[in-house]
């Protein structure tokens, strides 16, 4: 009987833990690298001038107004976020050290999706592949059309790139019927995964337990579970075979939980399955 792969660990928002002020910052990044995690996860936003920065929310306070980051120049953003990192900075910091888990928080204008290579998401993915190599990168996003664009581009370029459709978006503030529609599409995601061509299943830990993990096994796709922080949950998800990768705000705790299980193999990420392109 073949031994199961150990579960890999991704440091969520660079492994900032419970301190929101450290999310996606150099301090958190350096701590994660010191831990020798398998992946560093970070959120990427796009400023109005096209500069990519590490930031979770798609808005920030300007005086007493919430202004979208997409409406701010890089200089305007930087003056209000003194601890930010540029996308280029984090790619360079990870090169030759560990792998990048890139969570894209922006989308392109609808007109750009007619040609995958023209989209902003593909531009970000292309740069990561140039700096790190396709086998050192995974790309995740909540948006089906963004997944499809990156997957189509990676196939055209011959890259074995893992691209995940994230399940578990916030439904706070939505009408109840839209909340139901979103959750049903996440608990029964076959159509979304087929149409987006995602080759990595990405699920909030609650949804993973409610059937998404079984869906990933049936499809033969690697499973990324987010965000797992408590000792009990980490002991569950770090058991070999439960997932391929676990994202945690507490990467040190996740590594300790993994050490409680025998390590049999290298933990290298699986190659993305070769999916047949559907006719346009």
- Asked whether 41 and 17 are in contact (CB, 8 A), the reply is no
Top pLDDT among 272 and 178 is at 178
Q: How confident is the model at residue 271 (pLDDT cuts 50, 70, 90)?
A: very low
Most confident residue range from 73-77, 103-107, 174-178: 103-107
Give one DSSP letter per residue of 235-280, joined into a string.
Answer: HHHTSTTS-SEEEES-HHHHHHHHHTS---S--PPPPPP-PPPPP-
Residue 251's beta-bridge partner residues? none
pLDDT score for 20: 80
Dihedral sign computed on CA atoms, order 220, 122, 40, 205: negative
Residues 6 or more apart whose Cβ sits within 8 Å of residue 82: none
Assessment of whether the complete model's pTM goes beyond 0.75: yes
Q: Read off the pLDDT of residues 182-235 as tens digits, 9 standing for 90 and up.
A: 999 999 999 999 999 999 999 999 999 999 999 999 999 999 999 999 999 999
Q: Kindly give the interhelix angle for 251-259 and 26-35, rounded to the nearest 10 degrees.
A: 10
What value does the mean pLDDT of the chain take?
Answer: 91
Q: What are phi and psi of 6, to 5 degrees?
A: -70, 150
Q: Read off the pLDDT of residues 133-151 as tens digits, 9 standing for 90 and up.
A: 999 999 999 999 999 999 9
The dotted CATH code for 8-259 is 3.20.20.190
Q: What number of other Cβ atoms are within 10 A of residue 7's Cβ?
A: 25
The yes-or-no verdict on residue 254 having pLDDT over 60 is: yes
Nearest to 56, CA basis, from 25, 82, 92: 25
The yes-or-no verdict on residue 270 having pLDDT over 90 is: no
Tokens representing residue 88 in the block: 């280029």
pLDDT score for 273: 44
Pairing verdict, β 39-46 and 245-248: unpaired
Q: Kindly give the interhelix angle for 144-157 and 120-132, rounded to the nearest 10 degrees.
A: 50
pLDDT score for 263: 64
pLDDT score for 240: 96
Query: Percentage of residues in the chain with pLDDT exceeding 70?
Result: 92
Residues 6 or more apart whose Cβ sits within 8 Å of residue 267: 5, 6, 8, 38
Q: How confident is the model at residue 53 (pLDDT cuts 50, 70, 90)?
A: very high
The vertex-129 CA angle with 127 and 134, nearest 5°, equals: 165
């Amino acid at each position: 009987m073949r031994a199961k792969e150990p579960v890999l660990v991704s440091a969520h928002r660079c492994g900032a833990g419970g301190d929101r002020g450290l999310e996606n910052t150099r301090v958190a990044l350096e701590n994660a690298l010191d831990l020798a995690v398998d992946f560093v996860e970070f959120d990427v936003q796009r400023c109005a001038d096209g500069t990519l920065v590490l930031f979770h929310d798609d808005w920030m306070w300007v005086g007493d107004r919430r202004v979208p980051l997409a409406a701010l120049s890089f200089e305007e953003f930087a003056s209000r976020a003194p601890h930010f990192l540029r996308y280029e900075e984090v790619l360079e910091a990870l090169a030759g050290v560990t792998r990048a888990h890139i969570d894209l928080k922006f989308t392109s204008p609808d007109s750009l999706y007619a040609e995958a290579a023209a989209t902003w998401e593909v531009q970000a993915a292309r740069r990561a592949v140039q700096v790190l190599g396709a086998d050192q990168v995974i790309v995740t996003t909540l948006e089906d059309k963004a997944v499809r664009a990156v997957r189509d581009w990676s196939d055209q370029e011959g890259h074995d790139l893992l691209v995940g459709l994230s399940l578990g978006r916030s439904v706070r503030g939505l009408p109840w019927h839209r909340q139901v529609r979103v959750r049903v599409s996440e608990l029964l995601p076959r159509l979304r995964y087929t149409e987006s061509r995602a080759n990595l299943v990405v699920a909030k830990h609650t949804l993973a337990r409610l059937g998404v993990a079984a869906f990933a096994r049936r499809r033969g796709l690697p499973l990324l579970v987010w965000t797992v922080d408590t000792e009990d949950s980490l002991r569950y998800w770090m058991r070999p075979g439960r997932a391929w990768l676990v994202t945690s705000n507490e990467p040190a705790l996740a590594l300790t939980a993994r050490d409680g299980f025998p390590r049999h193999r290298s933990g290298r990420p699986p190659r993305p399955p070769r999916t047949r392109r559907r006719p346009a």
